[in-house]
Structure 1
Amino acid sequence: MSFQCGEYFRVLPLLVLGFATYQIDRTNISSALTGGFASAIGVNQNTINLGNQLMFLGVIVLEIPSNMVLQRVGPRRWISAQVCIFGIIAALQIFIRNRTGFLVTRSILGLAEAGYIPAAMYTLSTWYTKEELTKRIAIFFFGMFGGSAVAPLIGAGLLKLDGKGGLPGWKWIFLLEGCWAVLVSILLFALLPEHKQPPPSDEEASKSHKWNESSNSRIPLSTVYKTITNYTKYPHWISTACVFSTWSPLTTYTPSIIMSLGFSRINANALTAIGNLLTLPVIFFFAWVSDRTRQRGLTVMCAIGCYLIALILLRCLESKVGKWGRFGLWTTVNGLAVGYHPIQNAWIQVNCGSAGERSVSVAMFVMSATAGLMAGTQIFRHDDSEDGYPRGLLIMIILVLAGLVFAGVQSMVYRILNRSKGGQAQEA
């Protein structure tokens, strides 16, 4: 471990809690949809897709500026402020009455969420060494995927409040989960420590110092420009965007898909949580393999490959199996959908040469993932829903295959750079 102190043991749990809260507020619309949200405000599936696109666009627009502000004000104040703001906006969704209100609110929610993920991951990189980072990022992503797992369960419980206090169930979802985010922001402000780097005492500590270094000064625009224009890392961004785009329709429509199999809305939300919970051991397993083998690129490709196989099986077998068989196939796809994601992020970070480059690279990673999510909102269309989205699944297969190819290209790029720089430059 990098530092044996109380602060060290608070950082990761607090950031995981914040990430889970972030994800719950982002994806609770899927539970709200099973509670009649769309019909209540008079919108269709295409409008829901557009609203989610606008939310992701807001994240992209402010991602890098947000991470630059982080360097000035520090993680405790900046991260807690973000969680508080998006919690308030999430709660205010109870006042949505029509299509315009929905689209405007989703756009503002995206702007408020911008920066949390790269800010938190950059903060982790200032507390942990390269050798420790992959597993810690995997645990950090437990917040995201754990939040996605518990969101349907919480939604199922809150839908039982339908009619209480004159509020429909979907309003209780937005209201209570938004208020929870505000409470979490108070915890983050009170307990999240600022990083304090001890002076290095030997050569090994000196290397850790350089890796963990952080500053409260601006990131030079030259660093931002150099990182953005570093074409040797473009395969990372393309691969991330392609594969992560396929997670967007899963998080939004899996409860509705399971409900269409004949389950009640509450049972559908509860059953959806099974696939999401499976992501937790999956990502930890691949993180363990990555650390054990030190082959981050190969591990990313293996994880993407497993997801690709699950999608192909779903596409080929969905029309040939019964209710529980289809549920099993969709659950498997959900469980394997993001096993590669934390390792991809760690792979990017360990190949950065400075704290500034790492900060901007993490922001670029999240921007590419969010751009994928934004595009992915249109994969599942209403005219494709009656047959289980066969066209949408084919699109997902093509995108995941493309992501696998670009991950392989990135690994080859690092190997070429290794040979040109004496074998010590990059981790393939």
Structure 2
Amino acid sequence: MAEKSVVDFKVDQLYPGITAPPNSEQNDEEEEGTLSQHIRKNGEQILVTWRKEEEVHIVRKVDLLFLPIFSLMFTWMAIDRTNVSGVLTSTFLSDTNMTRDQANTGVSLLWLGIVLLEIPSNIVLHRIGPHYWIPAQVITWGVIEVLQSQVTNAGGWYVARLILGVGESGFIPGGLYTLSRWYLPNELTQRTAIYFLGPSISAAFGSLISAGALELHLKGGLKGWQWIFIICGVSTIATGVLAFSVIPKSPHHTGHLFGGLIRIPGWLTEREADILVARQTRIAEKNQVAGLTLKITWKDITDVLLSWSTWPYLVVCLTGLQSVNGLSTWGATIIKSLGFSSIRANLLNAPGSLLGAFFGIILSGFVDRYSRFGYGIIFAAGWTLTGLIALYRGLLQHLPVTNKSSWSFYAAYVVTQAAPGWQPINVTWLSLNFKTPQKRAVAYAVYSGTYGNQVFRASDAPLYRKAWIICISLGAVWLAGVILQTIVFQWANRIFARKLADNAELEREVVHTDKRGQGYRFYW
């Protein structure tokens, strides 16, 4: 009996009228840069032939639509999560009669909401399609963000953050999965890095928004922190409406705006859409997977959760994020404690994240070119750990704070924040080491469910000695973990190569083939 699917996502939901024909021949000859692939379109099998230069042009067109809108959505999601940093420099705690620890609890509850519905949200996405589900999510959490401006006590804060997390759950894996259906594996790392520009620049733009909103304190009878939530929420809603208007159902629906309510000439021609479908079919057949049909079963979920190779990524994710997440939440407050005003502290919190995003794109380009994921993350982890140690030593040496020591500490803070963004590298690494699109979709969802931050406690103020020691310890575990993970994957590849030489059936487990024709079980 066939296994019952959790999700039965047919090809015509993503590429209406088009399927990959059974037993279609894979043409591996690329004479003079020409590629060809059979696809079945509207019940008829056709051969699509194209040149590599033409494909590059089409991918650039896809970049111009998908990367800006998905990055913009991710940016507002990240701002809506981290604008607490600006809120905490205002009168928020006194107005709501809350403590710092209660504020931290609300931050953690947001992550709980995300974890609760991460996989279910991803399943719904496959049921109704990302072109509907993702914009609906953005609009929903934008409304919740606005409603946070009405919080009056700790209970309301807890509920608001939990519901905000529920509204955001599934967005990151859903966006990653959608990109993976339009791009080939060797195109994903740098595109994922651009998608992840949102978290990288959110602290910067969130700080600028907070600085401006705090200038509106008592305007219209609202406090500065209320303006932060309202401005961010309304902007998020507008972005969701924009996404609904332009994200297409498939390459053949690029002229269908607002879900098809308005029809215009598509930004992809019929031939360009055929080529996008053909190249996805081609890579699917090459990897011997069902390229355009997605059926997520319980076995796919358990295979990902029980695979030994999944957990190193989660350890790296959790330790790496938590080593710096305290700076995301309390960075502006820490800068303010050095003697700067609330507005100036928020402005000074912006540059480091922008530099980190810039360096992250450069590092992702290196990874895309050489497929050395572990080395890229090791570099970022070493940079961050060095910065955390410098911050801890500098804070202890430069107190009591003077004008000179304030700027010295701030310089170390910017250098730490400027560490290259590594999250897109890690999440792409995880997904590519699972062969089928079903398991990749599950892996995206599992990876994106992480927890909040409880490191910077009120009892530890003003030096936060324990917090800095915890951050440094987490950074050390992060660095050691990714080094060990890289070594283990290399070791597993050597064992796999020996088995592959004696058993040709293992060819189906190959996920990466280098220029010499050597097959590997894991990217490393």
User: Hey, what does 1:290 align to over in structure 2?
Assistant: 367
Equivalent in 415, 418, 429 of residue 347 of structure 1: 429
Give the whole-Å Cα distance in 1 for the aligned partners of 2:285 and 2:248: 18
1:4 and 2:86 are equivalent in the alignment: no
Give the whole-Å Cα distance in 2 for the aligned partners of 1:2 and 1:220: 35
1:20 and 2:75 are equivalent in the alignment: yes
CA radius of gyration, larger in: 2
1:58 and 2:141 are equivalent in the alignment: no
Deviations 1:259-306 (CA, angstroms, capped at 9, x unpaired): 111111101000000112121112112212212332111111111111
Q: Secondary structure at the match of 2:350?
A: helix
TM-aligned CA deviation for residue 213 of structure 1? 7.2
Cα RMSD over matched residues? 2.2
Note if contact 1:301-1:340 (Cα within 8 Å) is conserved in structure 2.
Answer: no
TM-aligned CA deviation for residue 182 of structure 1? 0.9
Note if contact 1:86-1:109 (Cα within 8 Å) is conserved in structure 2.
Answer: yes
Q: Secondary structure at the match of 1:393?
A: helix
Deviations 1:174-228 (CA, angstroms, capped at 9, x unpaired): 1121111111111111101224474789999712677797757551111111111
Note if contact 2:280-2:291 (Cα within 8 Å) is conserved in structure 1.
Answer: no
Deviations 1:34-66 (CA, angstroms, capped at 9, x unpaired): 121111000000000101111101101111111
TM-aligned CA deviation for residue 3 of structure 1? 7.3
Give the whole-Å Cα distance in 2 for the aligned partners of 1:51 and 1:203: 45
1:93 and 2:148 are equivalent in the alignment: yes
Higher strand share: 2
Deviations 1:333-390 (CA, angstroms, capped at 9, x unpaired): 2222x622211111112211011111111111111xx22xx2xx21111122212x22
Give the whole-Å Cα distance in 2 for the aligned partners of 1:418 and 1:97: 56
> What are the equivalent positions in structure 2 for 1:162-241 lying under 5 Å apart?
162-196=217-251, 198=274, 206-207=282-283, 218-241=295-318
Give the whole-Å Cα distance in 2 for the aligned partners of 1:202 and 1:195: 13
1:383 and 2:466 are equivalent in the alignment: no
Structure with more relative contact order (C-alpha pairs < 8 Å, separation 6 or more): 1
1:325 and 2:408 are equivalent in the alignment: yes
Give the whole-Å Cα distance in 2 for the aligned partners of 1:397 and 1:213: 44
TM-score w.r.t. structure 1 length? 0.93
Deviations 1:91-131 (CA, angstroms, capped at 9, x unpaired): 00111111111111111111111011111111111111121
Unaligned runs of 5+ in 1: none
Structure 1 residues 320 and 156, CA, compared in 2 at 3 Å: closer, same or farther? same
- Worse overlay, 259-268 or 217-226: 217-226
Note if contact 1:199-1:209 (Cα within 8 Å) is conserved in structure 2.
Answer: no
Q: Secondary structure at the match of 1:219?
A: strand
Equivalent in 332, 347, 350 of residue 273 of structure 1: 350
One-letter amino acid matched to 2:129: G
Give the whole-Å Cα distance in 2 for the aligned partners of 1:385 and 1:34: 15
- Worse overlay, 407-416 or 84-93: 407-416
User: Hey, what does 2:380 align to over in structure 1?
Assistant: 303
One-letter amino acid matched to 2:430: I
One-letter amino acid matched to 1:379: V
- Worse overlay, 279-288 or 268-277: 279-288
TM-score w.r.t. structure 2 length? 0.76
Note if contact 2:203-2:349 (Cα within 8 Å) is conserved in structure 1.
Answer: no
Higher helix share: 1
Give the whole-Å Cα distance in 1 for the aligned partners of 2:133 and 2:278: 33
Identity %: 33
